[in-house]
Amino acid sequence: MTLKTYIGSAKTFDYNICTEADAMVFNNQCKALEMYIPNLRKTKRLIDVDGSIMQRYDLDGNEVAVYNDEQIGAVYVKSSVKLENYFVEDRSSTKIIRLSRRRIHKRILHRYPLR
Stated as kind and residue range, the H or E segment containing 45 is strand 40-47
Q: Where are the alpha helices (DSSP H) in 1-115?
A: 23-36, 98-111
| CATH topology assigned to domain 2-111 | TATA-Binding Protein (3.30.310)
Q: What is the pLDDT of residues 45-70, one digit of tens each?
A: 999 999 999 999 999 999 999 999 99
Which pLDDT does position 79 carry in this prediction? 94
pTM, two decimals, is 0.69
List the chain domain ranges.
Answer: 2-111
